[in-house]
């Protein structure tokens, strides 16, 4: 099975917008590490987790930063819908895709660094996924926002 990299935050949150012009800008987390935008698969460690594990981690990060920046997203990120829609739209199927945990953690740090609502589409996360049991390995997930 081969790993695929695919855009997530920008694809999911294409409708994100600011709810107010006076949004407080949260501070950058001190544990953010090096610039998470430098490499799309930064943090890849080859340890894969299933959707049930990956979804709340990613969705919680999105929800927290959307709230902190007073942004709205329609539809709002929710589990398991957020990753199921992503898999269906970008990977061609909903099956047992698994997500690289290191890249997922990097994506959480990336989202925490967003300072404007436009960052949700302008600085999308790129998750590394691998086909699990029952998934086609011939899907080209591509990338981009």
The residue extents of the domains of the chain are 3-18+43-130
Cα torsion 10, 14, 15, 19 to 10°: value is 30
Read off the pLDDT of each residue in 100-120 and give the average, rounded to a whole number: 91
Q: Is the pLDDT of residue 7 over 80?
A: no
Predicted confidence band of residue 85 (pLDDT cuts 50, 70, 90)? confident
Taking a C-beta distance cutoff of 8 angstroms, is the pair 55, 5 a contact?
no
Higher pLDDT residue, 4 or 143?
Answer: 4
Is residue 136's pLDDT more than 70? no
Helix runs in 13-130, H state only: 51-68, 81-86, 101-112, 119-122
Of the candidate ranges 11-20, 30-39, 113-122, the one whose mean pLDDT is the lowest: 11-20
- Beta-bridged to residue 66, according to DSSP, are none
Between 68 and 4, residue with greater pLDDT: 68
pLDDT score of 78 more than 70: yes
Please tell me the predicted confidence (pLDDT) of residue 45: 87
- Separation CA 26–CA 49 (nearest Å): 29
CB 18 within 8 A of CB 70: yes
pLDDT grade for 18, boundaries at 50, 70 and 90: very low
pLDDT grade, residue 71 (50/70/90)? very high
- Say whether 140 sits in a helix, a strand or coil: coil
> Residue 65 has which token pair?
């930063």
The angle formed by the CA atoms of residues 47, 52 and 56, to the nearest 5 degrees, is 95
């Amino acid at each position: 099975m081969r790993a695929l990299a695919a855009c997530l935050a920008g694809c999911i949150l294409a409708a994100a917008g600011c709810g107010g012009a006076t949004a407080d800008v949260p501070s950058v987390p001190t544990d953010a590490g090096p610039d998470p935008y430098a490499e799309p698969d930064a943090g890849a460690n080859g340890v894969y987790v299933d959707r049930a594990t990956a979804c709340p981690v990613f969705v919680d990060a999105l929800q927290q930063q959307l709230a902190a920046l007073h942004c709205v997203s329609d539809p709002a990120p929710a589990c398991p819908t957020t990753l199921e829609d992503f898999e269906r739209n970008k990977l061609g199927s909903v099956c047992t895709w698994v997500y690289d945990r290191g890249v997922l953690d990097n994506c959480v740090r990336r989202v925490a660094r967003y300072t404007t609502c436009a960052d949700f589409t302008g600085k999308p996360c790129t998750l590394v996924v691998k086909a699990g049991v029952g998934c086609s390995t011939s899907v080209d997930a591509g990338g981009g926002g």
